[in-house]
Chain A
Amino acid sequence: MSEAFIVTVAGMVIVMVELALLAVIIVIMSKMIRKLSPDKDVNKTESAPISPVSPVPIAISGSTSDGSVILQNIDDKSAAMVMAIVSDDTGIPLNELRFRSIKALD
Chain B
Amino acid sequence: MNLVGTLRDIILSSGFANISYKQGIMIFVACVLIYLAIVKGFEPLLLLPISFGMLLANLPLSNMMHPEFFLNKPIDYIRILREGGILDLFYIGVQTELFPCLIFLGIGAMTDFGPMLANPSSLLLGAAAQLGVYAAFFIALLLNFIVPGIFSPQQAASIGIIGGADGPTAIFLASKLAPELLGPISVAAYSYMALIPMIQPPIMKALTTKKEREVKMDQLRAVSKKERIIFPIVVTIICALLLPSITALIGMLMLGNLFRESGVVARLSDTAQNALINIVTIFLGVSVGATTNGNTFLNVQTVSIVFLGLVAFSFSTAGGILFGKLMYKVTGGKVNPLIGSAGVSAVPMAARVSQVEGQKANPSNFLLMHAMGPNVAGVIGTACAAGFLLSVFGK
Q: A20-B124, A26-B123 are in contact. List 10 more A-B contacts (CB 8 A).
A: A4-B153, A8-B138, A14-B384, A15-B384, A15-B385, A15-B388, A18-B384, A22-B239, A29-B230, A33-B224
Q: Are A46 and B384 in contact (CB under 8 A)?
A: no
Total number of A-B contacts with CB less than 8 angstroms?
A: 112
The interface stretch among B12-20, B47-55, B129-137 is B129-137
List 22 A–B pairs whose Cβ atoms lie within 8 Å, in order of A's numbering.
A1-B141, A8-B138, A9-B134, A11-B133, A11-B134, A12-B131, A15-B388, A18-B242, A19-B124, A19-B380, A19-B384, A21-B242, A22-B120, A22-B380, A23-B124, A26-B120, A27-B120, A30-B120, A30-B227, A42-B222, A45-B224, A46-B224
Is A92 interfacial (CB 8 A cutoff)? no
Chain A residues within CB distance 8 Å of chain B: 1, 4-5, 7-12, 14-16, 18-27, 29-30, 33-34, 37, 41-42, 44-46, 105-106
Q: Are B126 and A26 in contact (CB under 8 A)?
A: no
Known: A19-B377, A22-B380. A11 touches B385 (CB 8 A): yes
Name which of B123, B137, B234 has the most chain A CB atoms within 10 A of its CB. B123
- Counting chain B residues whose Cβ lies within 8 A of the other chain, the interface size class is 35 or more
Give chain A residues whose Cβ lies under 8 Å from the Cβ of B239.
18, 22
Is B381 interfacial (CB 8 A cutoff)? yes
Q: Are A12 and B226 in contact (CB under 8 A)?
A: no
Q: Is the interface of B mostly helix, strand, loop or mixed?
A: helix
Tell me the smallest distance from the CB of A82 to a CB of chain B, in Å.
Answer: 14
User: How long is the Cα–Cα vector from A106 to B220 in the complex, in angstroms?
Assistant: 9
Q: Are B225 and A41 in contact (CB under 8 A)?
A: yes
Q: Are B117 and A26 in contact (CB under 8 A)?
A: yes
* Chain A, residue nearest B391 (CB): A14
Tell me the smallest distance from the CB of A45 to a CB of chain B, in Å.
Answer: 4
Q: Are A26 and B388 in contact (CB under 8 A)?
A: no
Q: Are B225 and A44 in contact (CB under 8 A)?
A: yes
Q: Are B117 and A15 in contact (CB under 8 A)?
A: no
User: How long is the Cα–Cα vector from A92 to B138 in the complex, in angstroms?
Assistant: 56
